[in-house]
Structure 1
């Protein structure tokens, strides 16, 4: 992995001033995709992917930068987005939350500033957190308590923050120790100066990089309306910032876990809503089974009838293990395709080393997961057998590499 840093000087050279659209010759995937290929057992897939070693790469809409490139860069920062674009991600994601003065900013959760930024290192901002820091004690089994939200601070205050790698030392006694929690399979090598961004700034950056955009309207963690700011006004403001920036609807894929948001866009912003993505978290419903339609909140036919065109479940909901012990399509995937829904899925390269089964994102096929090579086996199955149109990845080089190799 250390050899991969060779692209960094190229990536950031001259980027402190005007950016230019990345050309195909600028795309670099580094060494990780080749490492994953080497982990594959001998197979037709390994043979075909191995032939790409001298290939020139192009950006691909199949490759979606999930929060940028947070496997190694602080999520939702300028640096993370630029790295993802350099790796050929054709679409980049800004998760959209709002500040105390109702400005839209890029953050995965409204209340994650304590794990994704340095807010605890800035006393005047740390004291504004919804739950001020209270130290923990590992010997007593007591976890630290803290919660810092974008809605706790103004836009000007938000822009004072620096992004860091998502993580926390949950039993820390001090704020400084709490912030030292990066998983050991990620890195702090590029986390010294993460530039946080407003939604508008992300739009301008993405325009300059020549990529499409997929903003997610984050579910509020405060009671709505918030100081008069309704959910509908929030949903409209997200779309209006693309309209104001002159971004055509064909280049925007607005997302939400709330079906009501998607339906609101369909009724009030129909042009941008044609590519709206319904993020499906049905797995949180008691009794949900991705292979049993009777446990689903809505059938795929019902979703299509509501106007939904693109559905986005996590990786595991699309696959299952066959009686022969092989990858197979889940009933969820089969029914979605039958109803005419397009499918995007999330999130590749987010689970760390796969030798332990892959955790949440691989739970339906954990018995098949032996090593990191399974990343490419699953990606190939999703693309070739299920026909997904895009995959969110924490390291877009992998999805860019695959998309280019398999045309």
Structure 2
């Protein structure tokens, strides 16, 4: 390892002044995110794992650069590689790493208030609910593992009122399938993540996320989560749900140009296009790999890109595995699926980098289209370069936004 590389790593650990915003962004905690952006050591670790070549050389030469906020870097649930997702602390970390866009996945409570959760039914893995007095309210209360069957539970935001939801303590998303007690069920965190920052983490409503992200100078990409309850729910229709999410940005005085609302349901996207056209212009249709999908075979594609454009859809967000394939020289390459979507005039957003854990141990679900050639953590930057330069994505979600911020700053994105 070179002396220059070690120096770059050391410098990365210092709070570096950033010129990402002309104004100073400070939230109620007093943390100033325009003047204290930092990459931390992870980008340099990943670069050190890359194979020698022009990309590694270019990224290495950027080690002395000053971090700047960029909308190319999107905080996926904040920075959940190390922080409990959708918490104030997770988003503090993401903003401090230069993420220019932050995400609140939007679910609703029993009293139809909007909160930040990745799914309506994930409270049993993302909070301590199974060891609280609210456990009995879960749709499926905790059942211990026995006779070869895994432990089970299902706790929904719609099982609780907002006041009840706010009493829960968030944790890293995990559960222990072998648990025989509720306390044991709270475990199961992957060994490449950490529980170091679970302590006193803070849950957020959607409205609170808007205020926080705005104070930190970041833009917004809320995702309307597909309900697991039948809709309408207690008179609350899917259209009411989609409208309420947008109304909370309007109530906060947020310019629609700063908001990229997302949904896996095309009807939600079309609702925004028709009823809230300023917000609908940047509405994002999310799609993901399904069984039988082949990123190189158009017969397996379920999306008609031209039809989406005709309906007013401008943004498509496929999972990473849909946009990558194995190239002629056994390198990561852009898929035919991604290029066809781009050729149709759709803006593409990629999700989610650094969700698969160490690539040295295999790429996992997010890299399944290139698993045969992924064997190093340095491949995160190889994949990112293909997405940015060959596919031409507008932004990349990551569980640790500093990785994408570093690349975007180095490339001038």
Q: What's the TM-score bracket when you normalise by the shorter of the two chains?
A: over 0.9
State the secondary structure of the residue aligned to 2:46.
Answer: helix
What is the CA–CA distance in structure 2 between the aligned matches of 1:55 and 1:224, rounded to whole Å? 50
TM-score by length of 2: 0.92
What is the CA–CA distance in structure 2 between the aligned matches of 1:90 and 1:6, rounded to whole Å? 20
State the secondary structure of the residue aligned to 2:322.
Answer: helix
What is the match of residue 143 of structure 2? 134
Runs of at least 4 residues of structure 1 off by over 3 A?
Answer: 3-8, 15-21
Deviations 1:50-100 (Å, cap 9, x if unpaired)? Answer: 112211110100000000000000000000001000000000000000000
Range 44-53 or range 224-233, more displaced: 44-53
Q: Where does the alignment leave 5 or more consecutive residues of structure 2 unmatched? A: 1-9, 18-25
Structure 1 position 385 matched with structure 2 position 396:
no
Q: Is residue 13–residue 39 contact of structure 2 (8 Å, CA) maintained in 1?
A: no
User: Map of 1:253-292 to 2, 5 A cutoff?
Assistant: 253-281=260-288, 283-284=289-290, 286-292=291-297
Q: Is residue 12–residue 38 contact of structure 2 (8 Å, CA) maintained in 1?
A: no
Q: 2:349 aligns with which of 328, 344, 352?
A: 344
Q: 2:134 aligns with which of 111, 120, 125?
A: 125
TM superposition shift of 1:21: 5.6
Q: Is residue 74–residue 165 contact of structure 1 (8 Å, CA) maintained in 2?
A: yes
What is the match of residue 367 of structure 1? 372
Q: 2:59 aligns with which of 49, 63, 66?
A: 49
Q: Identify if the C-alpha distance between structure 1 residues 20 and 272 changes in structure 2 by more than 3 Å, giving closer, same or farther.
A: farther
State the secondary structure of the residue aligned to 2:235.
Answer: coil
What is the match of residue 309 of structure 2? 304
TM superposition shift of 1:20: 6.1
Q: Is residue 13–residue 41 contact of structure 2 (8 Å, CA) maintained in 1?
A: no
What is the match of residue 172 of structure 2? 165
What is the match of residue 91 of structure 2? 81
What is the CA–CA distance in structure 2 between the aligned matches of 1:335 and 1:291, rounded to whole Å? 10
Deviations 1:371-407 (Å, cap 9, x if unpaired)? Answer: 1000001001110111111000000000001000111
Count residues in correspondence.
395
State the secondary structure of the residue aligned to 1:176.
Answer: helix
TM superposition shift of 1:287: 3.0
What is the CA–CA distance in structure 2 between the aligned matches of 1:16 and 1:36, rounded to whole Å? 31
TM superposition shift of 1:327: 2.2
What is the match of residue 108 of structure 1? 118
What is the CA–CA distance in structure 1 between the aligned matches of 2:113 and 2:408, rounded to whole Å? 36
Q: Where does the alignment leave 5 or more consecutive residues of structure 1 unmatched? A: none
What is the CA–CA distance in structure 2 between the aligned matches of 1:108 and 1:372, rounded to whole Å? 26
Deviations 1:98-142 (Å, cap 9, x if unpaired)? Answer: 0000000000000000000111121x21110000111003xx321
Q: Identify if the C-alpha distance between structure 1 residues 16 and 299 changes in structure 2 by more than 3 Å, giving closer, same or farther.
A: closer
State the secondary structure of the residue aligned to 1:74.
Answer: coil
Q: Is residue 114–residue 205 contact of structure 2 (8 Å, CA) maintained in 1?
A: yes
Q: Is residue 115–residue 205 contact of structure 2 (8 Å, CA) maintained in 1?
A: yes
Q: 1:313 aligns with which of 313, 318, 323?
A: 318
Deviations 1:339-397 (Å, cap 9, x if unpaired)? Answer: 00010010011111112321101011111201100000100111011111100000000
Q: Is residue 21–residue 208 contact of structure 1 (8 Å, CA) maintained in 2?
A: no
Q: Identify if the C-alpha distance between structure 1 residues 54 and 5 changes in structure 2 by more than 3 Å, giving closer, same or farther.
A: closer
State the secondary structure of the residue aligned to 2:115.
Answer: strand
